[in-house]
Structure 1
């Protein structure tokens, strides 16, 4: 049975991508650093991954549950941010990378120059980015676009600013400075967030990328770091993946979408971001400012970054098995944590892509 969240996440697929695998006699083992050396443990095979903090709670849960059912496979994951994860993937020091930003043209070119083949990026789940805040006694905070744009730009610097009080007439807002907290590391969450800010905020000059120049605020590393900083800072507000706010008991603001509606964050409202969107052949779908009037406006996919060839056939097989299990048996864990499972047809396409394109080096 498909859950309500999964039903709402309707993506119109492009015409079927040909998945024929063309045999290539390319020796790229010298470029793969640790990838070329099997890392065995007493039980079997070990996989190492690194990257985005956005999906880290889910990945760690998935890998733990998968190991319980497949004790011969150990999977470690380091939540180091999408920027560092992409770099480690390009350098070949991990078995897989993870990013909330699709690979850029420059990153794809670097990979192809190094490995002689295109990279493989596949989505695993979707999630939303929320404004997490620390204002004791203030619940159900609402932030219209001019307000959250002003906070991010530094134009609104106090919690009792007239623009905030007008939008929240029943709230007792303190005369407390706003402490804007943003990522200090290369971050796919920053990519998702600033893609929306660039589309929604006319005065934003920082661009949209994994790293941007912030006009105000203080930096923290990872979704974990922003969550901790918000919890420690009365008057603090920052952007984190939805699961980090809910798991840490941090309040998250309802915000205005493109249609002018104030929408509280939830997996159901975030899933509407993708309704009617077309997913491209490389899975690199982004929706900076969704048109759906009921959608929570900041949400995106998160991808695993895989190699087309592995020198250890056990690693290729283990990666195939892990992804097949996550997308066929792991939806319940995704939804428990507040992520958005992919539609069944997209999950099937991802599994088929991995089965046919991730192979052992011949």
Structure 2
């Protein structure tokens, strides 16, 4: 029979209390985890949240955080339905989403929580790390206009690479995804045809015929790794931690840049002030800037129905956007810039508890 952590703690506490009673002694017992906070949404955030919330729990044994990696769209839905304490999305709420959430629970606060990049990953036998791709070429692949790996447009960018005449399998998100929003925001910034035919969104109509969907960053990573000839897009941490093959992308300065913590940091530095109304950092200027980068956001109600629970949510999130950012670099995220950390704290300070 399996015993949960909480059951074991309770059993040990009861045993300790009995021993203390028998010997007439007073024993200070460890506090049990009295509150489990819940969050759901962005798979982009999941590697960071997993470690950060675990670390927080090591020093605050009165609270645990259960986070479900279900995609930004699902997180927004669960937050609006008030089935979780907070939602997470790689794109802030749009006007209609905000109105629905506000109707459900009052004023919504949106806090920048993580900063990362989106890597373009591929599975091309015989072609190792470093394939070069430009924004227009990636857009044409996802439009279905470039269908084979030895297409002249790809070959022109990679004159020293022997490209196989293999069909390209386009992998995209099948769920409502903030990572897809960042990716399609980038494609719209580099391809007028993509912007007019497909546009920007968490869910779009993917036009390439030879395509397949995957749920979450995990799903895309799995599809690309298992499918020869596949190309996809995943949060940088998934690419690096799973040793995936990723492309160097041409940025707005016409330099080819790999997705790294430093290149994402350079992109963010070119736009120091972000807000829920002005948040895009794709295709930013600078020779060192990686072109597909973005912030992720957490949503909470300004006046939670349970003030005591709201206080714990605020404390967890304040720690995550400040001290918890020390974990980010070890997981291939970029720690939030100091001014963004302060802005996040300022917004959290608006919670009415």
With structure 2 as the length reference, what TM-score do the two structures score? 0.86
Deviation at 1:276, TM superposition (A): 3.8
CA contact (8 A) 1:54 1:223 kept: yes
Partner of 1:45: 35
Deviation at 1:150, TM superposition (A): 1.6
CA contact (8 A) 2:114 2:335 kept: yes
Deviation at 1:74, TM superposition (A): 0.9
Instruction: Report the structure number with the largest CA radius of gyration.
Output: 2
Residues 115-139 of structure 1, C-alpha deviations (whole Å, 9 max, x = no match): 3x32110001111111111113312
CA contact (8 A) 1:100 1:300 kept: yes
CA contact (8 A) 2:110 2:347 kept: no
Deviation at 1:196, TM superposition (A): 0.7
Partner of 1:295: 289
| Selected match of 1:189 from 167, 179, 184 | 179
1:238 aligns to 2:232 (yes or no)? yes
After alignment, is 252-261 or 228-237 more displaced? 252-261
* 1:186-335 map, 5 Å: 186-204=176-194, 205-216=197-208, 217-277=211-271, 279=273, 282=276, 284-335=278-329
* 1:1-362 map, 5 Å: 42-115=32-105, 117-139=106-128, 140-204=130-194, 205-216=197-208, 217-277=211-271, 279=273, 282=276, 284-354=278-348, 356-360=349-353
Question: Cα distance 1:236–1:281, how it changes in 2: closer, same or farther (>3 A)?
Answer: closer
With structure 1 as the length reference, what TM-score do the two structures score? 0.84
Deviation at 1:307, TM superposition (A): 1.1
Deviation at 1:280, TM superposition (A): 5.0
Local SS of the residue matching 1:279: coil
CA contact (8 A) 2:82 2:104 kept: no
CA contact (8 A) 1:45 1:314 kept: no
Deviation at 1:231, TM superposition (A): 0.5
Alpha-carbon distance in 2 for matches of 1:180, 1:75: 35
Give the RMSD, CA atoms, in angstroms.
1.7
Number of residue pairs matched by the alignment: 318
Structure 1 residue runs without a partner (length 5+): 1-40
Higher RCO (C-alpha under 8 Å, 6+ residues apart)? 1
CA contact (8 A) 2:270 2:284 kept: no
Alpha-carbon distance in 1 for matches of 2:77, 2:92: 13
Alpha-carbon distance in 1 for matches of 2:90, 2:52: 17
Alpha-carbon distance in 1 for matches of 2:339, 2:275: 14
Partner of 1:8: none
Residues 298-320 of structure 1, C-alpha deviations (whole Å, 9 max, x = no match): 10100011111223333112112
Local SS of the residue matching 2:299: strand
Question: Cα distance 1:332–1:259, how it changes in 2: closer, same or farther (>3 A)?
Answer: same
Residues 332-357 of structure 1, C-alpha deviations (whole Å, 9 max, x = no match): 21101111111122212312321x22
Alpha-carbon distance in 2 for matches of 1:104, 1:144: 29
CA contact (8 A) 1:125 1:342 kept: yes
